Structures are given as C-alpha cells and as structure tokens.
Amino acid sequence: MKLYFILSAFVFIAALTNPEYSYSEFSGIYADTTLKCPVTGDEISGEHVSFRYIDKEIKFCNDGCAMAYKKDPAKYSEHVKCMPCNEDDANHKINTTHNGVKYYFCGNGCKGKFDKDPEAYIQQYSK
C-alpha cells in the first residue's frame, strides 16, 4: 500500500515537470501575441527589440529573446506561414534556416522553391 502511494506520487510529480506539458500550456497563453514577449511571456514596455518574421512585426524584451525566437519560431507561435503558398499551416518538421532565421513549409515542394531564392520570398513579405 505504501509502495503504491509512493509510485502514484511519483507519477503526479512527473506529470507536473513534463516539459511537453508545460510547453503546450505556454504556447496556449502566449500564441501570436505582439504585446507580450513570445519567448518569456513578459509584457513589453519601454525599450524593446523588434524583428519582422515573414509578415509579422514581433516585439521582444531584448536581443536574447529575439535570438531564441529566430532559432525556433514554431516553438513560440502555434501557426507559422509557409511563404510560397501564403498559408498559416506550415509543417514544423519541414524547415530551413536562412541568415540565422528558421522558416517552415507545408511540404518539401515549397521548401525547394524557397531554398532556390530565399530573399525573393522574404522581400515579398516585408512590404
């Protein structure tokens, strides 16, 4: 009986500390907001850093947060755009990194189009 209690307490703690669990909680609260830093969840006020990712201007507390975002934007926004087809349904597993920024695509066809001329797509969405 005592062993059962210890085991169930362990499972409970494991559920609380499971990083995947806390990750989904986090993205649910802070997804696609521009008022809070998407990385830390802190409110942005006064001095900040901003970075345009595809067609969205995103504000961060500082360069450190912007760097973290560039490396893995899908970690902080649930929906990321596939630039060649202009749909917010990119597959997080199909990606490429250009100038230190990660971009996502709906499929390998779109990834191939982007890889041929990344700047053309970035320019298209920077207007």
Determine, following the binding rule CB under 5 A, whether residue 58 of this chain makes contact with Zn ion.
no
- Does 91 contact Zn ion by CB under 5 A? no
Name the DSSP class of 85.
Answer: T
- Of 12 and 112, CB closest to Zn ion: 112
Of 58, 66, 80, 106, the residue at the interface with Zn ion (CB under 5 A) is 106
Q: Does 82 bind Zn ion (CB under 5 A)?
A: yes
Half-sphere exposure of 47 (CA within 13 A, CB side): 2
**Total of residues contacting Zn ion (CB under 5 A):** 11
| DSSP codes joined into one string, 4-66 | HHHHHHHHHHHHHH-HHHHHHHHHHHHTT-SSB-TTT-PBP-SS-EEEEETTEEEEESSHHHH
Does the protein bind Zn ion through residue 65 (CB under 5 A)? Answer: yes
Closest approach of Zn ion to the CB of residue 64, in Å: 7
| x-marked contacts with Zn ion along 2-21 as a string, rule CB under 5 A | --------------------
Contacts from 59-66 at CB under 8 Å and sequence distance 24+? 59/34, 59/35, 61/37, 65/37, 65/38, 65/39, 65/40
Shortest distance in whole angstroms from residue 25 CB to Zn ion: 17
Give the interface with Zn ion as residue ranges (CB under 5 A). 37, 39-40, 60-61, 65, 82, 84-85, 106, 110
